[in-house]
Amino acid sequence: MRKMLYAALLALATPAIAQPAPAPAAPASAVPNTPKNWAVIVMTADVNHDADEAWKRIGGNDYCAFIKYLGMNSCVLTVGTGDVGTNRLLNGTINELMVSKTGRSYVYAQPTSAIFYHGTMAVEPVTATTSRIVYTLVYDNANVAPEGRAAEMDRRRVRFQAAVDKMAADANGR
């Protein structure tokens, strides 16, 4: 039973469960001031092109381009065209709002996620002819049992590092 309990706890902490159905309108005090445990994951890959070229090659200006690297089935822009405030719907279930954008980065957040999930895709200049893809995740994993947090973060790290590696391969090709 104990194993079952831990399995249930871990299962409830997975990204799929972090996408609850939209909640009804709430008063200003609706968000509980519960304890948070901020997880930060940083993934990088080097690119043998300058930052502008790398950003273009990995589809940085297309808010849906990244799904081919993460193996997702669909991405639809439901609001906006790629500026701050644009919303993309992933696999028909996950809403991600663009909350920030710079010349070679964007930040997305999941407004209905209980884990306050944020991701950033960026390309940073290194030299005049090289650059680096930097992909970061920030979220609250307080709902994961302390002994399970490292494994939970590793699962995300492995999945997103693979995506970043594919991005770099695309950028470095040709």
Partner 1 sequence: MRKLFGAAVFVLLATAAQAQTPQPADWITLTFTAELNKNADIAWERMGGNDWCAIVKYLDIKSCEVVSGRGELGSIRTINGTIVENVVARTKYSYTYAQPFTPIFYHGTMEVVPLTANSSRLVYTLIWNQTAVGDAAAQAAARDSRRQRFQAAVDKMAAAANAP
Residue numbers at the binding site for partner 1 (CB under 8 A): 1-2, 4-5, 8-9, 12-13, 17-18, 20-34, 36, 38, 40, 42, 79, 83-85, 87, 97, 99-100, 102-105, 107, 109, 111-114, 116, 118, 120, 122, 124, 136, 138, 140, 143
- From start to end of 59-141, where are the E strands? 75-79, 87-90, 94-102, 105-109, 118-125, 131-140
- DSSP H or E segment with residue 47: strand 38-47
CA angle (23, 29, 30) in 5-degree steps: 20
Nearest to 10 by CA among 161, 162, 155: 155
How far, in whole angstroms, is CA 63 from its chain's centroid?
12
- Cβ proximity to partner 1, 29 vs 81, nearer residue: 29
- Cβ proximity to partner 1, 73 vs 81, nearer residue: 81
- Cβ proximity to partner 1, 84 vs 158, nearer residue: 84
**Beta carbon of residue 95, minimum distance to partner 1 (angstroms, whole number):** 9
**Beta carbon of residue 104, minimum distance to partner 1 (angstroms, whole number):** 8
Give the pair of three-digit tokens for residue 32. Answer: 């509980």
**Beta carbon of residue 16, minimum distance to partner 1 (angstroms, whole number):** 10
- Cβ proximity to partner 1, 140 vs 163, nearer residue: 140
